[in-house]
Amino acid sequence: MKSINWTKEIFKLIFYIGSVVLLFILGKVVFDNTHYSSALIGVSGGFLGILIFQLIRMINFKRNPENYHKERIDFKDERNNMIISSAKSSAYDAEISTFLHHDYTYYSNFRCSDKKCNHSFKVPKLINVKLPSSEFKPQNFSFKGMRHIEFTSNNIYYKLYYTI
């Protein structure tokens, strides 16, 4: 049996540790209080999860070397690779089968690209929706400044009425 390639596994572990530290420092110190900050910290958390998985995997390989050999055989199995490849391609086909049909203010309308199906679905946008005018609070209406318009309209009316 072939022994475990520890250098490759340790290199992966060091890479993930470096990625977590680098992305966390970039998100917390360099890009503090920006949109990039939360994204970098989120990616750092994702790498932390992969790091923990890799560490548990290495401990398991240390305890049971047979698991390492079984994983290597499964990784090189041509039938499994073909199934995984076809699953990835079918997921890609399903992903590109919809398109944006209309983009409205409060939602987006997507359509299926298959002409026989013509399926449509709406995705709401996460924005603040304005209240309709019927829901507005009543406001006091003031006739201040309207006196000039009233005098002008009366003058025009009487001038036209009495000149004929």
The pLDDT tens digits for 47-90 are 899 899 999 988 988 898 888 888 888 878 888 778 777 766 65
Mean confidence (pLDDT) of the chain: 77
Cβ neighbours around 128 below 10 Å, total: 5
Tokens of 45: 């958390």
Higher-pLDDT residue of 123 and 129 is: 123
Domain boundaries, the chain: 6-94, 97-131
* The token pair that represents 67 in the structure block: 């698991």
Identify the residue whose tokens are 């939602």.
107
Residues 6+ positions from 110 with CB-CB distance below 8 Å: 98, 99, 100, 101, 120, 121, 122, 123
pTM of the model: 0.47
- Give the Cα separation of 106 and 125 in Å (integer): 5
- Taking only the tens place, the pLDDT of each residue in 87-124 is 666 555 555 567 677 787 778 888 877 666 777 778 88
* Residue 77 main-chain phi, psi, to 5 deg: -70, 125
At a CB cut-off of 8 Å and minimum separation 6, what does 102 contact? 108, 109
